[in-house]
Structure formats: C-alpha cells, structure tokens
C-alpha cells in the first residue's frame, strides 16, 4: 500500500508539472466552437440539471454500469472542463480563442490533487452531448456587446469610446472575396455595430463578476428586459432572448494579406456578460464544475501540505503548490529566477481527522522543519468554496482597497429551455461587470451555490458510496428533487442553506481558503511575503462576502414544496398520489394568435418537468389538433430537458378549426401499433394513458359535435384504459357535458395567465397524477394465444414510501374470465392493497364503504407460480355472459405501510426502480381472459399492422 501511495505521489508531481504549462485546447473542446449545431445559441442543448443527469445516465448505461461515480465525475471534468477561454477577434486562426492565465493557475492546483483520468469510450456520447458537458462545466465570461445592448451604447456615448485601427479599409459587403458565409453581417464599429456575439458558449474573458440568480424571465417580458427586435417570430414565441446574433467570423480576404487586415482595439463590452459553466435548477443556478468537482474529490480525498516559505523563496522563487515551472506562469508579474521550494507540491492522503464529513475548526498551524504550515489543502475544498474564495481574494488583492461589491447574480434566458445565463448590471452604472476592475470579484452567486452543493455532497459521498453504492445519476437526481438523498432526506437542494450552516464549521472553509490563496499567490506573485497579512485580509474579505450570501440562500431560493420524507406512515389521504403517465397533448391552433400558441407550447413543455419524464417514468407526446398529426411521439426521448426544448421549437401555425376526429383517428392507429409491439415483445407497460385536448382557440362548431361524440364512443369501446381529458382557460366546464362522464376529473379549468406554463404544476398535481397506472395482459385471448404458464408471468411494480399508487385494470383484459385471480407479493417491505369496482380511488380511509376492501402483504416474497402473499378473487367479473359492454374496471391502490430498512433497499442498477427505498411488488394473475370474437383488443387497422409487421419479420429472418 505504501508503494502505491508513493507511486501516486510521484505520478501526481509529474502531472502537476505538465499541467502548469500553457494548456493546449484539445479537439474535443475546439470542435464545440467550430460545429454549427453545438455552437449555435438557439440549437445547443439546454443548460439544465435534468440534461446533465440524463447525459451521466447515458454514460452509465453505455458502460454497463461498470463505471463508478468516481470514474465518471473525474472523467467528465478532465475531458470537458476548460475554464477561461477568451475570444480574440484579431487572431488569424479559424479557432480564435485563447486560454486565461488566471484560470490556468487555478486548474493547476486542483488537478494536482484530483488524480485519475479516463477517457469516455468512443460512441458513448454524440457531439452535442459532449459539447453540452463542456458548456455546463467550463466557466468563462462572454463580454461581447450584444445587439440588444446597442441602444444603451448609443444613448450613453461615454460608455466606452470605440477605436478601430484600419490599415486598409475594405468593403464589408464584398462577400465574393470571403469564404465565410453571411459576410454582409460583419460589423462596422464606426457605426457602433456588434463585433462578434459569441453567446453563452463563447467566452470572452475569464472569471469576473456580477450576476443575480433570479430564475428565468417570463418570455413575454424579455423584450423590455433584454431589448432588441426579433429576426423571426419563432424566436420570441419559443421564449428565447430576442435578436441575439450568431457569431460572425472575420473573412479571409483573398486580395489582402494578414498585414493589411483591419484590427480592432477598445471593442465595446457588455454590461451584462454571459456566464458559462452555469446550470439551471429549480432551486437556483449552480456552477457545474464546483458541483461535479466536489463529488469527484470527495470520492477520493487527497490533501496537499501548504508551507509558508522564506522571504527569498516567497518573493522570487519558482511557483509552488502545483510543481509548476517558470514557463507555466504566464502572468507578467510572475516569479523570476531561483529554484523555489518543493514543500507545497506533493499531495497526500488526509488523516482520519481530514476525512470527509462534518469538519471541525480549531487546529493550530503546525511548526515543522523551521517553516510555518497552513492547513493542508483538501481537494474537496479546493474544488468548491475555498478555491473560489482563495482565487477571488488574490485577484482582488491587487487593488488598494477591496471592492465593495456583492457576489454577482444573473438570470437565465428561459427556465424551460435555459441556454444562456446573463449577469445583471451593477447598481453603479459607472462600473461594468466585465470592464471596471473595481467591480471584479471573481466569484459569482452561481459558483457559491454550486460550491455549496459540491461541498455538501463531496463531504458525504464517499460514505454513501461505501454504504449504498448509488450511481452518480441517482445521487444527482435525488439531491435535486423534493425527495432528497435516500437515508438522509435533509440533503436536498431546496435545503442547501440549512444543510450548509448546520454541517460545516465556517472556520474550516476560511482556513482552506487561506491555503488555496497562498498556493495561488505563489503562481501569480500578486502579494509579497512582506504583506502576508494583506493576503489573509483579502481572503477574509472574499470569505465574508461568500458567507453572507450563503446564509441568505434560504430566503433567496425557492423553498421546498414537500415536507421532509419520513419512514413513519401517514394517512392515505395525505399521501401524494403517484402513477407514471403517458400523456398525449392535443394542441389547439384554431383561431389563435402567435403569442397564444407560444403559451400553449410553454404549458406543454413545462409538463415535461412536472410529469418527471425520465427512464421508467412518464412520457409526453404532442399532436397538432388541426390535422391530427403526431408531431412528437412519447418515445422520442426520456430526457425532460431535451423534450421541453423540442416542444418549444415545434412550428405550430394558426388554423381555422380544431378537428378532434382526426386526432382520435391518428391516436387509434398509434395505440394499435403499441399494442402490437406489446404482443410481439410480451411487454406490459404500466403507464396510464391520458389524452389531453387543449381548447384555447375557436369553440367547436355545433355541426361537428355529433361527429366528435360518435368518434369518442367508437374510441372508448376499444380503449378502456385510456383517459380523455380537456383543459381550457376560455370556456366553461359545462361546455363539455356532451363529451365527458365526470366533470370533476375530466375537465380542467386553467387560470388565464400571461405565462400559461405556471399552470402546468397545478394541472399535474391535481389531475394527471390522480389518473391510474395500467395493468394489462395483451395475451388474454386464449383462442389466439396459449395460456400455459400464465400464473408464472409476473409484473414488477415499484411503489414509494408515503405515496399512494393507483392502478386500473380495464375489462378489455378480463371480460370473459370465470375465476379471475389477482396475486400480489412484496419483496422488501409490506404494502396495503385496496380494491373496488366502483370507487376509482380506493384506500384505507374509504375501506368501510361498499365495494371497497383492503388487504396487506406479509412481506414474505413468493415468485409468481409458487404461491401468493395476497390473492384477490373475482368470480365472473363481467357477469355470466362475459360481455365487455357495461362491465366495470377493477380499481386498485398500492401503498407501503412501513419504511424500507437499510438492509432491504433495492439496487436500482439492476432493478428498474427510481429510488432504492421503493418497495418492489410483483403482480401476477390467473384466468385473465378476453376470448369472444365480438370484442378485440386491436382494431382492424391494428390487425393490418400486425400482419404487416409479421411479414416484415419473416422476410428479415428468412
């Protein structure tokens, strides 16, 4: 073991020397700036926590869950994080970006105590996903003046005078001499035009300053807040920042050499620069690198000794802390001459007192070898708050007085499809976030929030990994949810401020920040050893700003909506109903304005998040109500963030009339196709199916109502497990009496609002999640399918603690049964099963009512066909004639009656569960029959599809 540690220390020393050199930009990074799809501010993937989780989950699946959270977190950091890329408009190469010395030094320190590196296998991620990781993990500021800010520039001539050196004036309209498209859009700064809008992924400066993290703007207000006029109506309709131009490359003029190219100096800069490396979450924007860095470091804690070296070494020796060479120090004020000290170079494994967890302060600085030692720098502090505070302190230390500026905050362009995070202006209009040195803090609110999350998770993740073996995607999904970490539910993003204040001794973070600042200062020579107290004072100032904001997060960020989960059972009526749903939304483009269509799309897109679209979860599809075409199928993606952006991008146009008949006809064919696939694969989907008609346009004409009613009767006769609902903010509930059986559950009044998406949460909580999951048996016709071993066919259902799951079995699957048996067995906990033929929501509180009964499992698991824990019997459930018409469904509810113990938790790497504390319930049956020829599960179009697919399959394998 000692040899391994020693070898690792040697390896880290070598790596730290290499990292200190000027960083080269790998192709995996540069390709993100040269690929039009990944680079385009309107098409790049969303900077959304759901997207990060989905990408991590894809890596896990593609590596067959062999890659550990430690491997994945460190790999994506080292492969895709590249802080401080700056745009140089006068650079001759096609790739016009340069690295930042300030960020190079910081990364040198971090990587020297964050060892281990792998490469994600080729084919695991596509280019858009790789670039999305880069944008989410790489901090930079794009200070290019956007055209929505030009009005401010023109109104304030003193903002920044523009100078342009023109060695040879050329016509910017002469695109025949250019091999770059859209040359006519090139700017002319004599008229105060934009030089190059590099957008959120195209940084122009390294870390700087002042952002607010108010969650997204209402898109209807973005015009006044961000300015500009839309080039395309869909830009505003999709809730994007308006009129933000694409990057403009300088053309290669074939008639001029490089010496005659025009050059720009004192280019106007944005007062609201775009900060990259920021991820949108429901509970505030976070810096992605700090989050993942804290987890990566916490899974293998290492520390670096920090020695206060002698006057001569401090003021003129080689930079220490990363083993860096003079060539690696690109700061013009760097060290000169001397050999320096090696005492700050080597990382080490921390002692038990430095292990992750709740840290305590009060350890005294040690004396050794005649040198003064600061606290050893722990890697999970260096990658989170201490690193940001230490860097902020040194970069502010060059000023005579510390700037009186709070950590900057910012705003996403959109909460539904967030692609850009724009920093707010300073309260003092004479100071610019990206230009005035007095405003620099080098520590933003997103970094503080991400640093807290990274530190909170990093300090506990090794313990959780050893004990529970959570996947990285599982860990992130739990933390950024109302549920919190299974086993420690207080650890959740909506409680980050409370957890941080309760868990960490702030003096420890201050000591760690001093250690980081000292090593960082050795690389920049900002403060001399004669002014070491000035370094400590600068650290204290930056630390106080960070701590002040950290303590206020509980009042700034949205609160938790749900109480902390508990293993103690609560009454059924207090449990949140839950059932995965496949929701088809029929949009209404009839007689609506463009903005009304935008609001419909935003409502539907927000449903993707509220439904929690994900693997083994809900699905969402979109149908054009005018022509009945399916624009997005529910199986398009299980990534809620990608789906939401895709919905906003959908080009719906105003039509004369909605046509529900066409929509139902299309849906019948779609559902028949799904049943055929279920038959072929012998697969049972548990998601309830809901069709939601949005009625926001023209009222249905009277002569069409009879046609719609007739089509509904036809549809419902073969789709007993499909629930049809209506939502409107324009019409009264009574207008739907011809189409619904129960107003209370089938018609939803949406509150009229300029931002309709705010109604999506209420819709899901009150209605969609009160729908039922499906329990099916597509081979119920014994005349067509052999029934040997029916009792051995089991379906696994996963139910969450203090949630109640409602299911429905349509008579489509059992109407000819004579002796139906429903059997349940729970694997890792006890559950209560209530059932009824008339009450749609049976539970323990209405079990005394007629036709409602409940039974409890004993927790003694039995495989299907080997016995039963609970058996529910129905003799001739649809009468002696066994006809489907007039036969009621079987309604069920399943809810845990006790929490799952630690030893009984599931492994979601092998089970298809969402959380490890869910109870696994296996459902099986006997004599579930649908035999008569009068009623079939698949319509005539479906039978044609079956025949066609059989022919295709035969030809394929022949």
- pLDDT number for residue 358: 34
Ranking 253-267, 505-519, 682-696 by mean pLDDT, the lowest is: 253-267
Least confident stretch, 248-252, 302-306, 444-448, 684-688: 248-252
**Res 574 pLDDT > 50:** yes
Q: Which of the two residues, 166 and 623, has the higher pLDDT score? A: 623
Q: Residue 195 has what pLDDT?
A: 29
For residue 407, what pLDDT is reported? 72
In 204-268, at which residue ranges do the beta strands (DSSP E only) sit?
A: 263-265
Q: How many CB atoms lie within 10 A of CB 596?
A: 19
Higher pLDDT, 214 or 750: 750
Measure the CA–CA gap between 497 and 480, rounded to whole angstroms.
14
DSSP class per residue in 721-743: TEEEEEEESSS-GGGGTTT-S-H
What kind of architecture, by CATH, is found in domain 789-926?
A: Sandwich (2.60)
**pLDDT exceeds 50 at position 237:** no
Q: Assess contact for 508 and 357: CB atoms under 8 A.
A: no
pLDDT at 917 over 70: yes
Q: Distance between CA 764 and CA 170 in Å, rounded? A: 59
Residue 685: which residues within 8 A CB-CB, separation 6 or more? 582, 674, 678, 774, 776
What is the C-alpha separation between 426 and 409, in angstroms, rounded? 10
> Lowest mean pLDDT: which of 381-390, 608-617, 943-952?
943-952
Phi/psi for 87 (5° steps) reads -90, 130
Taking only the tens place, the pLDDT of each residue in 73-118 is 999 999 999 999 877 777 777 788 888 888 999 999 999 999 777 8
855 CB burial (10 A radius; 0-12, 13-18, 19+):
middle
Q: What is the pLDDT of residue 329?
A: 30
pLDDT class for 564, splitting at 50, 70, 90?
Answer: confident
450 pLDDT exceeds 80?
yes
What number is the average pLDDT over the span 295-317? 74
Percent of the chain with pLDDT over 70: 73
Give me the pLDDT at residue 398, please.
53
For every residue of 174-218, DSSP letters joined together read -GGG-SSS-GGG---GGGT--S----TTS--BSS------BPPPP
pLDDT tier for residue 874 given thresholds of 50, 70 and 90: very high
| Joined tokens for residue 197 | 């809008």
**Which one is predicted more confidently, 413 or 318?**
413
pLDDT digits (tens, 9 = 90+) for 883-893: 888 899 999 99
Averaged over 614-633, what is the pLDDT?
A: 95
Give SS3 for 219: helix
Write down the pLDDT at residue 322: 35
Question: What are the tens digits of pLDDT across the range 171-226?
Answer: 223 333 333 233 223 233 233 333 233 344 443 444 443 333 433 333 333 333 33
For every residue of 809-847, DSSP letters joined together read E-GGGTTT-SEEEEEEEESSS-EEEEEESS-SS--GGGT
**What are the backbone dihedrals phi and psi of residue 893, each rounded to the nearest 5 degrees, phi first?**
-130, 145
User: Which residue bears the tokens 């497990």?
Assistant: 721
Decide if 87 contacts 267 (C-beta within 8 A).
no
Q: How much is the pLDDT for 608?
A: 97
**Mean pLDDT of the region 671-695:** 88
- Is 243 within 8 Å of 148 (Cβ atoms)? yes
H or E stretch covering 662: helix 660-681
Question: Which pLDDT value is given to residue 944?
Answer: 57
Nearest one of 321, 225, 330, 210 to 275, comparing CA atoms: 210
Label residue 751 by pLDDT band (50, 70, 90): confident
Cα–Cα distance for residue pair 19/325, rounded to 1 Å: 10
pLDDT at 578: 87
Q: Per mean pLDDT, which of 173-187, 262-276, 326-340, 874-888 is the most reliable?
A: 874-888
- The Cα–Cα gap between 675 and 679 comes to 6
Phi, psi for residue 795 in degrees, rounded to 5: -120, 125
CB 885 within 8 A of CB 761: no
Identify the three-state secondary structure at position 108: helix
Cβ count near 465 (within 10 Å) = 19
Q: Name which of 11-20, 518-527, 648-657, 781-790 the model is least confident about.
A: 11-20
pLDDT value at residue 184: 29
- Residue 789's region, left for phi above 0, alpha for psi from -120 to 50, else beta, is left
Q: For the residues 320-325, what does the mean pLDDT come to? A: 34
Phi, psi dihedrals of residue 758, rounded to the nearest 5°: -65, -20
* Beta-bridge partner residues of 773: 807
Task: Give me the numbers of helices (H) and strands (E) for the chain, helices first please.
Answer: 27, 29
For residues 943 and 362, the model is more confident at 943
Domain range 573-773, CATH architecture: 3-Layer(aba) Sandwich (3.40)
- Cα-to-chain-centroid distance, residue 864: 38
Q: Is the pLDDT confidence value at 475 over 60?
A: yes
pLDDT the model gives residue 35: 82
3-state class of 874 per DSSP?
strand
The set of long-range contacts for 616-621, using a CB threshold of 8 Å and a minimum separation of 24, is 616/580, 616/798, 616/912, 616/913, 616/914, 617/580, 617/914, 618/580, 618/581, 618/582, 618/583, 618/687, 619/581, 619/582, 619/583, 619/687, 620/582, 620/583, 620/585, 621/582, 621/583, 621/584, 621/585
With vertex at residue 625, the alpha carbon angle to CA 620 and CA 629, rounded to the nearest 5 degrees, is 70
Could you write out the DSSP letters of every residue in 690-720? EEEEE--SSPPPHHHHHHHHHHHHHHHHH-T
pLDDT(17) > 50: no
- Max mean pLDDT range (245-259, 446-460, 933-947): 446-460
* Nearest to 358, CA basis, from 236, 513, 491: 491
pLDDT tens digit sequence for 803-845: 999 999 999 999 999 999 999 999 999 999 999 999 999 999 8
Q: Is 162 left (phi over 0), alpha (psi -120 to 50) or beta?
A: beta
Instruction: Supply the DSSP symbol for 2.
Output: H
Q: Torsion angle, CA of 523/526/532/535, rounded to 10 degrees?
A: -100
Report pLDDT for 741.
Answer: 84
pLDDT digits over 483-498, tens only? 999 989 999 999 999 9
Contact 527, 514 (CB under 8 A): no
In 15-132 the beta strands, taken as DSSP E runs, fall at 86-87, 97-98
SS (HEC) of 284-329: CCEEHHHHHHHHHHHCCCCEEEEEECCHHHHHHCCCCCCCCCHHHC
Residue-range domain boundaries for the chain: 1-144+194-255+270-564, 573-773, 789-926
> Does residue 519 contact residue 320 with C-beta atoms inside 8 Å?
yes
Question: What is the model's pLDDT at position 363?
Answer: 39
**pLDDT tens column, 464-473:** 999 999 999 9
Q: How far apart are CA 7 and CA 346, in angstroms?
A: 12
Specify the higher pLDDT residue, 27 or 2: 27
Q: How would residue 56 be classed by pLDDT, with cut points 50, 70 and 90? A: very high
Packing angle of the helix pair 101-112, 506-524 (nearest 10 deg): 120
Nearest to 578 by CA among 409, 773, 287, 762: 773
pLDDT value at position 83? 93
Chain-wide mean pLDDT for the chain?
Answer: 77
Q: What is the C-alpha separation between 899 and 919, in angstroms, rounded?
A: 9
Average pLDDT over residues 260-288: 82
Span 395-423, pLDDT tens digits = 876 544 445 556 778 999 999 999 999 98
Residue 297 has pLDDT above 90, yes or no: yes
Residue 848 binned pLDDT confidence (cut-offs 50, 70, 90): confident
Region of poorest pLDDT, from 16-30, 32-46, 749-763, 904-918:
16-30
pLDDT at 463 over 50: yes
pLDDT for residue 601 is more than 70: yes
Give all strands of the β-sheet with 421-423 in edge-to-edge order.
Answer: 140-144, 269-276, 421-423, 410-412
């Amino acid at each position: 073991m000692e040899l391994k540690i020693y070898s690792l220390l040697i390896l880290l020393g070598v790596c730290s020397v290499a990292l200190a050199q000027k960083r080269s930009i790998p192709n995996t990074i540069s390709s993100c700036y040269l690929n039009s799809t990944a680079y385009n501010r309107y098409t790049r993937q969303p900077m959304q926590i759901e997207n990060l989780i989905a990408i991590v989950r894809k890596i896990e699946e593609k590596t067959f869950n062999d890659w550990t959270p430690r491997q994945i977190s460190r790999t994506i950091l080292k492969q895709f994080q590249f802080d401080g890329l700056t745009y140089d408009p006068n650079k001759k190469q096609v790739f016009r970006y340069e690295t930042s010395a300030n960020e190079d030094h910081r990364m040198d320190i971090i990587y020297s105590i964050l060892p281990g590196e792998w490469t994600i296998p080729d084919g695991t991620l596509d280019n858009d996903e790789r670039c999305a990781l880069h944008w989410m993990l790489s901090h930079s500021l794009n200070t290019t003046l956007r055209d929505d800010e030009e009005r401010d520039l023109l109104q304030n001539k003193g903002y920044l005078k523009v100078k342009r050196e023109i060695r040879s004036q050329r016509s910017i309209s002469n695109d025949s001499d250019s091999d770059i498209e859209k040359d006519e859009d090139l700017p002319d700064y004599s008229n105060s035009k934009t030089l190059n809008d590099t957008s959120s992924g195209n940084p122009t400066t390294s870390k700087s300053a002042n952002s607010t993290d108010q969650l997204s703007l209402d898109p209807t207000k973005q015009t006044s807040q961000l300015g500009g006029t839309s080039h395309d109506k869909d830009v505003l309709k999709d809730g994007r920042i308006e009129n933000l131009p694409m990057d403009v490359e300088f053309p290669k003029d074939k008639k001029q050499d490089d010496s005659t190219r025009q050059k720009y100096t004192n280019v106007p800069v944005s007062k609201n620069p775009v900060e990259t490396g920021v991820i949108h979450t429901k509970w505030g924007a976070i810096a992605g690198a700090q989050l993942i860095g804290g987890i990566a470091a916490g899974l293998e804690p290492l520390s670096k000794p920090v020695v206060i070296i002698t006057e001569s070494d401090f003021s003129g020796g080689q930079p220490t802390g990363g083993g860096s060479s003079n060539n690696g120090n690109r700061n013009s004020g760097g060290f000169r001459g001397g050999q320096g000290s090696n005492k700050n170079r080597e990382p080490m494994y921390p002692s038990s007192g430095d292990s992750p967890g709740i840290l305590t302060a009060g350890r005294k600085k040690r004396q050794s070898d005649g040198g003064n030692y600061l606290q050893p720098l722990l890697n999970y502090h260096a990658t989170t708050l201490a690193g940001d505070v230490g860097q902020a302190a040194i970069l502010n230390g060059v000023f005579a007085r510390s700037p009186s500026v709070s950590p900057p905050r910012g705003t996403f362009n959109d909460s539904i499809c967030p692609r850009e995070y724009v920093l707010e202006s300073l309260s003092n209009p004479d100071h610019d976030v990206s230009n005035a040195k007095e405003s620099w803090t080098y520590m933003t609110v997103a970094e503080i929030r991400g640093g807290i999350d990274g530190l909170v998770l990093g300090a506990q993740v090794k313990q959780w990994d050893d004990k529970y073996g959570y996947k990285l995607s599982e860990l992130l999904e739990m933390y950024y949810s109302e549920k919190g970490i299974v086993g420690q539910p207080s650890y959740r993003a909506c409680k980050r401020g409370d957890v941080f204040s309760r868990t960490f001794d702030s003096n420890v973070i201050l000591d760690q920040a001093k250690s980081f600042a000292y090593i960082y200062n050795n690389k920049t020579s900002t403060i001399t050893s004669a002014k070491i107290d000035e370094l400590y004072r600068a650290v204290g100032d930056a630390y106080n700003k960070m701590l002040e904001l950290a303590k206020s997060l509980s009042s700034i960020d949205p609160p938790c909506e749900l109480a902390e989960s508990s293993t103690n059972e609560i009454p059924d009526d207090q449990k949140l109903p839950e059932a995965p749903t496949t929701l088809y939304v029929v949009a209404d483009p009839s007689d609506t304005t463009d903005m009304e269509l935008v609001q419909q799309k935003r409502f539907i897109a927000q449903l993707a998040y509220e439904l929690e679209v994900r693997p083994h979860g809900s699905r969402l599809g979109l149908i054009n109500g005018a022509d009945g075409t399916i624009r997005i199928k529910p199986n398009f993606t299980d990534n809620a963030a990608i789906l939401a952006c895709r919905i906003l991008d959908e080009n719906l146009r105003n039509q004369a009339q909605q046509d529900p008949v066409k929509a139902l006809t299309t849906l019948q064919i779609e559902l028949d196709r799904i049943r055929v696939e279920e038959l072929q694969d012998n697969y049972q989907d548990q998601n309830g199916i809901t069709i939601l008609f949005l009625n926001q346009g023209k009222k249905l004409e009277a002569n069409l109502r009879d046609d719609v009613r007739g089509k509904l009767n036809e549809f419902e006769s073969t789709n007993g497990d499909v629930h049809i609902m209506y939502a409107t903010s324009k019409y009264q509930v009574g207008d739907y009496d011809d189409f619904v059986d129960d107003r209370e559950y089938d018609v939803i009044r949406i509150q009229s609002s300029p931002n309709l998406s705010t109604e999506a949460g209420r819709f899901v909580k009150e209605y969609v999640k009160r729908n039922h999951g499906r329990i099916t048996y597509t081979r119920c016709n014994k005349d067509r399918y052999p029934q040997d071993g029916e009792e051995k066919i089991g379906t696994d259902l996963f139910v969450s603690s203090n949630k109640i799951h409602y299911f429905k079995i349509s008579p489509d699957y059992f109407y000819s049964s004579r002796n139906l048996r429903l059997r349940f067995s729970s694997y890792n906990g006890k559950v209560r099963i209530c059932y009824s033929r008339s009450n749609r929501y049976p539970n323990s509180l209405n079990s005394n009512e007629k036709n409602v009964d409940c039974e409890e499992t004993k927790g003694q698991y039995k495989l299907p066909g080997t016995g039963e824990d609970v058996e529910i019997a129905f003799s001739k459930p649809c009468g002696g004639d066994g006809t489907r018409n007039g036969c009621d469904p079987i309604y069920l509810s399943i809810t845990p009656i006790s929490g799952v113990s630690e030893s009984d938790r599931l492994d979601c790497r092998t089970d298809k569960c969402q959380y490890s504390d869910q109870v696994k319930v296996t459902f099986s049956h006997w004599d579930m029959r649908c035999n008569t020829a009068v009623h079939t599960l698949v319509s005539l179009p479906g039978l044609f599809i079956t025949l066609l697919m059989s022919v295709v399959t035969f030809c394929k394998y022949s």
